[in-house]
Amino acid sequence: MFNERLIPWFRQSKIEALFLKKDPNVRWASGFKGKDSCVLMTPDGGFLITDPRYTEQAELEAPDFTLVNWRAVGGTMMKALAHVCKEQNIKSIGFESDALSFGEYSQLKAETDAELIPTENVVENLRSIKTPEEIEDLRAACEISCRAFYRILDDIRVGVTEKELAAKLSSYMVFEGADTKPYGNILISGPNTSLLHGIPSERAVQYGDFVLMDYGCQFNGYMSDMTRTVVVGKASEKQREVYDLVKRMLEDSLAVMKAGTKCKDVYEASVQAIKDTPYYPYHYNGLGHGIGLFVHEVPFIRPGAAAVYEENVVTTIEPGLYIPGWGGVRIEDQVIIKDGGNENLIRVSHDLIEL
């Protein structure tokens, strides 16, 4: 599948070819789902540069592309790329400035006479707006995560370790239909919950703990990302106070998320509930991110972020309060931006669950 959505960029940039190396960008542009491969896109067609581990798969998944086996052509990916450019008489190549290593860039520069032009987020910006097919895959990934959530609730009890719960949660997603690579779950408990990206440990869950689960899966390569924080036993007054503030932050954010909203305005909406409370210093201002074939993508919700939501952007929204040594709460949903509002793909209540 040659992605026609790049054509306007070629027209506007006047660059003759676009060299893509990041796996999600290669997949989006060509349909090829393998790794360690790259594509060269031109307005007239695409070249997929790979090695014999992937040639059969590439023929099946990217039938419109000209396959180049770099082991046979040049012996390195950069030499093969330079060879294709010479053959096609390509004089300018855009490349992903945040993906090419210095070594690769140097090698390519030595091998080609074409002008090398750094680009940023060309495919990411196009990719941020999802097609109906992409939305169906994202919806399926979110539904799988939600079903896994209800299953893991039965396992959370005093004495079970964070690692055991993380392993079960991952397996539930696969049994519920996810691709076999559920990603790095954050499943942490008690005082560990103030660690924004804490790693599941041997810590055993205790009565009164928060258990924070930030996790997701892929369905046909498309990702879900959700977070819920529950309490084991009865919540203390302070736990409930912090939880209710985060819930308000989330719901105030969701209320403004629609086509035309600037990302910075979502951030501003999220802090209304805490700005006059002692908890304000404990929020984190990275509040959400686009999501699709990769987990953290444009547009990002941050203070001052000028990006404006367009219809069919899919994004997370994940406010939290993190109090070092005490614990933290995060609640994260994943939504489709629509005209006049959004559709929430995470259909699990925002209310505090006491187990």
Handedness of CA 241, 198, 299, 223 (dihedral sign): negative
Reading the block at residue 206, the tokens are 């205790």
* 282-287 contact pairs (CB < 8 A, 24+): 282/321, 282/322, 282/323, 282/328, 283/249, 283/319, 283/320, 283/321, 283/322, 284/196, 284/320, 284/322, 287/253, 287/317, 287/318, 287/319
One character per residue 18-57, x = contact with Mn ion (rule: CB under 5 A): ----------------------------------------
Give whichever of 225 and 297 is closer to Mn ion, judged by the CB atom.
Answer: 225
Give whichever of 42 and 316 is closer to Mn ion, judged by the CB atom.
Answer: 316
Binding residues among 324-343 for Mn ion as defined by CB under 5 A: none
Give whichever of 24 and 34 is closer to Mn ion, judged by the CB atom.
Answer: 24
Give whichever of 6 and 293 is closer to Mn ion, judged by the CB atom.
Answer: 293
Q: Within 13 Å and on the Cβ side, how many CA atoms surround 318?
A: 28
Given the rule CB under 5 A, which of 10-18, 65-73, 274-282, 314-322 is the region that contacts Mn ion?
A: 314-322
Tell me the closest approach of the beta carbon of residue 113 to Mn ion, in angstroms: 43
Phi then psi for residue 274, to 5 deg, are: -115, -5
One character per residue 215-254, x = contact with Mn ion (rule: CB under 5 A): ----------x-----------------------------
Tell me the closest approach of the beta carbon of residue 294 to Mn ion, in angstroms: 12
Given the rule CB under 5 A, which of 45-53, 249-257, 299-307, 311-319 is the region that contacts Mn ion?
A: 311-319
Give whichever of 21 and 330 is closer to Mn ion, judged by the CB atom.
Answer: 330
CA distance 343 to 355: 28
Residue where the block lists tokens 């581990």: 53
Facing residues of 188 across strands? 212
Name residue 18's amino acid.
L
Q: How far is CA 122 from CA 15, 97, 314, in A?
A: 12, 11, 17
By CB under 5 A, tell whether 315 contacts Mn ion.
no
Q: By CB under 5 A, how many residues form the interface with Mn ion? A: 2
Task: Give 167's contacts (C-beta < 8 A, 6+ positions apart).
Answer: none
By CB under 5 A, tell whether 316 contacts Mn ion.
yes
Given the rule CB under 5 A, which of 32-40, 190-198, 299-307, 312-320 is the region that contacts Mn ion?
A: 312-320
Give whichever of 189 and 316 is closer to Mn ion, judged by the CB atom.
Answer: 316
Give whichever of 20 and 313 is closer to Mn ion, judged by the CB atom.
Answer: 313
Binding residues among 275-294 for Mn ion as defined by CB under 5 A: none
Which residues sit at the interface with Mn ion, rule CB under 5 A?
A: 225, 316
